[in-house]
């Protein structure tokens, strides 16, 4: 102890006045007001601190006058409650409004008093204190109002919005969340966890995402799947921590948007890419097979063995036709996707369609060792006969392809007054239930080693359904499963049998003879083969390889027919046709365009340029022969 500190004095030795002054200074520095009343609740003397808070003079406080500072609406309750507490001799707490001269208003105050007992448990006096709790109550009211507002905003939000505590219990949730997780628009998830509401695998994933946010204290954006009445919904959820409790967040909140359609589109894109890649790989395989056969056949043509040479030519013809059919299917798919398949409609006898289709498929059926049986009846529909034959050919080809050697494919035709039903049935590979619709998707391929051995791009069913719908009909598949065969059902609107019309008398035919051709084609092999084929038919041909030479040659030679490729170096085919039409002074000329494009706008451009005919590569020999026959017979 230093001299400045002076001698130590115990608390019991301190003067009473000093101790009172110390406690009085302490309470004056605080917002607490001390007061004392006799056993009946009267002030026997003025209370300086009561006067300081309320502004009441000390003489005004005497007896029960001190209660005048209590708001009139609270005074009666206070008097009654304190009387009950005094009767029980227990601590009394009450909250009332008391006038404050400092604030010049009534303030929310807590009055607390306790009995000071003398010997024999007799109340000597009541001592108490007053605490101004106005700011606390206002803050609490603001918190309650904020909570009510937040709760209303969250509950009525039109999107999934929620707050969870650290244990994963929902504290707040929008009605969207409640309905999604409970299936009840009036349901509530507050107080429940995802483990109680969702399958455990889903709840486990969501819980792991929540814990990652709580551990890191950072915002996380995640995709989560929530099952909803058998329909899985995908949500892009932003989860963020709420105010910290110590070193870690006390809770987390989240808001989600439904990305199910985006997720499905992404899956569909991935599936489309997979099918495209599978299709391209299969297309490469399918094109290699006929090309290999053609190359071997070309070598046999050069052989001295006449029989081998004849067989080689048959192989070349068969495989070239196979490649041509695949390319035609690809072209039709392009037209189908862009809605550009045109129909030339009229009354069609279904027996003609069936006969033509069976005849077309017969070589494939013979090769596979599969019989085709027909049970039909005469009937008519309104449609494009060529396209209807294509539909039935695709159905028969599909049935033969998926049948085993020695089995039979059955085609039947049934009718009602309004509907024609054509069924193609096989007892072959069968179809999984989940694939009964997918088989009609473009480029869809089933795993079938037999099918791959017989070739085909798998586009026929997709084309068949589109053509059936364009005719106002339907096409669907039925199967009891793998190894149990399949039935394809084509339904078309039936029409009455049209009245027969007498044949018009045939006009005089111009005798067949030599035609003169100019062939403009930049591909040397195609130009040479078509030139040789035309000359083998007795026609005169002049060929050239570019547009400028072709235009000059056509004008000089003045042929009966000019066959012009569209994609030429120099002047293209359109420019050649326009130049010919502008400067032509000879006899009637038939201009034929040959192109790899068969869309409607391509046909329109060809016609506008001055062509008479539009042929799409690869051009079938039968098409050329028909065209030349028309020219020979023109009079």
Partnered with residue 126 across adjacent β-strands are 37, 115
| 3-state secondary structure (DSSP) of residue 96 | strand
- For residue 146, what are its two tokens? 């904020």
Cα gap 269→276, rounded to integer Å: 10
Q: What is the DSSP string of 428-494?
A: SS---GGGTTGGGSTT-----HHHHHH---S-HHHHHHHHHHHTT-EEEEE-SSTTS-EEEEEEEEE
What CATH class does 341-495 carry?
alpha beta
Answer whether residue 122 shows pLDDT above 80.
Answer: yes
Cα gap 223→204, rounded to integer Å: 14
**Is there a contact between 446 and 279 (Cβ–Cβ < 8 Å)?**
no
Boundaries of CATH 3.30.450.20 in the chain? 12-132, 150-258
Ranges 142-151, 217-226, 479-488: which has the least confidence: 142-151
Ranges 30-34, 335-339, 581-585: which has the least confidence: 335-339
The conformation of residue 119, written as its DSSP 8-state character, comes to G
Partnered with residue 147 across adjacent β-strands are none
pTM of the predicted model over 0.85:
no
**Is there a contact between 143 and 127 (Cβ–Cβ < 8 Å)?**
no
516-633 in CATH: which number? 3.40.50.2300
**Average pLDDT of 426-432?**
87
Kindly report the length of the chain.
635
Angle CA 34–36–37, to nearest 5: 150
Boundaries of CATH 1.10.287.130 in the chain? 273-335
Q: What percent of the chain has pLDDT over 70?
A: 76
Ranges 5-14, 34-43, 226-235: which has the least confidence: 5-14
**Is there a contact between 331 and 616 (Cβ–Cβ < 8 Å)?**
yes
Ranges 162-171, 273-282, 409-418, 518-527: which has the least confidence: 273-282
Beta-strand pair 32-37/123-132: antiparallel
Rg (CA), the chain: 49
Cα gap 71→94, rounded to integer Å: 13
User: How many helices and strands in the chain, by DSSP H and E?
Assistant: 19, 23
Residue 564's pLDDT band (boundaries 50, 70, 90)? very high
The conformation of residue 190, written as its DSSP 8-state character, comes to B
Give the pLDDT confidence of 148-195 residue by residue, as tens digits.
776 676 667 677 888 899 899 998 888 888 888 888 877 888 889 999
Answer whether residue 249 shows pLDDT above 80.
Answer: no
Residue 448's pLDDT band (boundaries 50, 70, 90)? very low
What CATH class does 273-335 carry?
mainly alpha
Cα gap 142→454, rounded to integer Å: 80
**Is there a contact between 492 and 383 (Cβ–Cβ < 8 Å)?**
yes
Give the pLDDT confidence of 375-393 residue by residue, as tens digits.
888 889 999 888 898 899 8
Cα gap 384→342, rounded to integer Å: 9
Q: How is domain 12-132 classified at the CATH fold level?
A: Beta-Lactamase (3.30.450)
Burial 330-360 (b: 16+ CB within 10 A, else e): ebbbebbeeeebeeeeeebebeebbebbbeb
150-258 in CATH: which number? 3.30.450.20
Boundaries of CATH 3.30.565.10 in the chain? 341-495
């Amino acid at each position: 102890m230093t001299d400045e500190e002076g001698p130590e004095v115990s608390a019991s030795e301190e003067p009473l006045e000093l101790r009172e002054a110390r406690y009085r200074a302490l309470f004056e520095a605080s917002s607490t007001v001390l007061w004392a009343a006799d056993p009946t609740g009267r002030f026997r003397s003025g209370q300086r601190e009561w006067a300081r808070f309320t502004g009441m003079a000390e003489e005004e406080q005497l007896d029960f006058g001190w209660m005048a500072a209590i708001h009139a609406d609270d005074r009666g309750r206070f008097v009654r409650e304190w009387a009950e507490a005094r009767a029980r001799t227990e601590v009394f707490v009450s909250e009332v409004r008391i006038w404050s001269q400092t604030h010049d208003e009534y303030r929310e105050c807590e009055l607390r008093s306790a009995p000071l007992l003398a010997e024999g448990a007799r109340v000597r006096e009541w001592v108490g204190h007053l605490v101004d709790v106005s700011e606390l109550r206002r803050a609490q009211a603001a918190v309650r109002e904020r909570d009510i507002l937040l709760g209303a905003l969250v509950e009525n939000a039109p999107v999934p919005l929620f707050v969870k505590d650290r244990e994963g219990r929902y504290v707040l949730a929008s009605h969207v969340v409640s309905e999604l997780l409970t299936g009840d628009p009036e349901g509530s998830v507050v107080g429940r966890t995802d483990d109680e509401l969702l399958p455990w695998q889903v709840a486990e994933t969501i819980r792991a995402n929540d814990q990652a946010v709580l551990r890191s204290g950072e915002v996380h954006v995640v995709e989560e799947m929530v099952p909803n009445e058998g329909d899985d919904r995908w949500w892009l959820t932003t989860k963020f921590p709420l105010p910290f409790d110590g070193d870690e967040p006390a809770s987390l909140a989240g808001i989600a948007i439904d990305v199910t359609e985006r997720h499905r589109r992404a899956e569909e894109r991935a599936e489309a890419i997979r099918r495209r890649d599978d299709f391209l790989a299969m297309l490469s395989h399918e094109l290699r097979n006929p090309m290999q056969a053609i190359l071997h056949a070309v070598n046999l043509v050069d052989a001295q063995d006449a029989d081998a040479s004849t067989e080689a030519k048959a192989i070349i013809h068969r495989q070239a036709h196979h490649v041509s059919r695949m390319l035609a299917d690809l072209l039709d798919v392009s037209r189908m996707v862009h809605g550009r398949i045109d129909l030339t409609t009229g009354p069609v006898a279904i027996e003609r369609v069936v006969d033509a289709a069976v005849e077309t498929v017969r070589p494939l059926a013979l090769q596979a060792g599969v019989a085709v049986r027909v049970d039909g009846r005469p009937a008519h529909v309104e449609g494009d006969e060529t396209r209807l034959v294509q539909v039935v050919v695709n159905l028969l080809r599909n049935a033969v392809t998926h049948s085993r050697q020695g089995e039979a494919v059955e085609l039947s035709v049934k009718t009602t007054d309004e509907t024609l039903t054509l069924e193609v049935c096989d007892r072959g590979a069968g179809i999984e239930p989940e694939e009964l619709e997918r088989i009609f998707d473009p480029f869809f391929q089933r795993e079938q080693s037999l099918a791959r051995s017989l070739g085909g791009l798998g586009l026929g069913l997709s084309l068949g359904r589109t053509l059936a719908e364009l005719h106002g009909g339907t096409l669907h598949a039925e199967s009891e499963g793998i190894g149990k065969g399949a039935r394809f059902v084509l339904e078309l609107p039936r029409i009455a049998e049209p009245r027969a019309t007498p044949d018009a008398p045939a006009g005089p035919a111009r005798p067949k003879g030599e035609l003169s051709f100019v062939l403009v084609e930049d591909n040397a092999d195609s130009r040479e083969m078509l030139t040789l084929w035309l000359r083998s038919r007795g026609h005169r041909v002049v060929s050239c390889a570019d547009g400028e030479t072709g235009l000059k040659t056509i004008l000089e030679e003045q042929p009966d027919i000019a066959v012009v490729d569209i994609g030429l170096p120099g002047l293209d085919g359109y420019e050649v046709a326009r130049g010919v039409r502008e400067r032509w002074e000879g006899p009637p000329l038939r201009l034929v365009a040959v192109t790899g494009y068969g869309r409607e706008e391509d046909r329109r451009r060809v016609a506008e340029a001055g062509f008479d005919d539009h042929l799409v590569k690869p051009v079938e020999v039968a098409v050329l022969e028909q065209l030349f026959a028309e020219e020979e017979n023109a009079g």
